[in-house]
Amino acid sequence: MGKVGKEAVVGEPIEHLLVEKLSDPHTMEQLVRLLDKLENVTFLLDMLENFLRRGPEFADSINELVILLRQSLSRPEYVTRFEHALTALQRMQEFLDSPQVQELFKSDVLDVRSVQTIGKVSRSLLQASKETMETGTKRVGIIGLMRALSDPEVQPALNFVLNFARHLSKEISNA
């Protein structure tokens, strides 16, 4: 069926060409894909329309910001603050580029498992501390320990260490 540009050949009704075009499998596939995404397309068009409608408002805000920045940069205290901020950023960059920090990044200290283990140790320390405060000091009397271990000044630390060991063991076995 011959067509010249977008116009139908003389004598061929436009409806017939439309039906023929809509019957094409490729066209049908594209229409189905478009219909599937119609909600997203509508949403995007609404957002674009709102953005364009607020264009003058955005331009005014940007203009006000530029004016504010020009006024601020003319004040010496703002220039000093900016210089201090820039110096701080340079020092932070030097720190991050240092061999020590680079080695830290390469080590297992920042590994997720290490951080999780430190979290477990911290929770265990806090729980042991809490229990030690709640239960008070208990005499830990194991015959094999020296008399010095039964000293009342040592008992709070010993209770803390035992509670810590118990909770750390729970954390490790739950891993």
Tens of pLDDT along the chain (175 residues) come to: 444 445 545 556 888 888 888 888 998 898 888 888 888 888 888 888 888 888 888 888 898 888 887 877 777 777 788 889 999 999 999 999 999 888 888 877 777 887 887 888 788 889 888 988 888 776 655 654 676 577 787 788 788 788 889 988 888 887 6
Question: Distance between CA 166 and CA 155 in Å, rounded?
Answer: 16
3-state DSSP call for residue 38?
helix
- Taking CA 171 as the corner, what is the angle to CA 158 and CA 130, rounded to the nearest 5 degrees? 45
Tokens at 106, concatenated = 């390469």
- Answer whether 167's CB lies under 8 Å from 129's CB: no
CB-count burial class (<10 Å; 0-12, 13-18, 19+) for 131: middle
- Taking CA 62 as the corner, what is the angle to CA 59 and CA 63, rounded to the nearest 5 degrees? 85
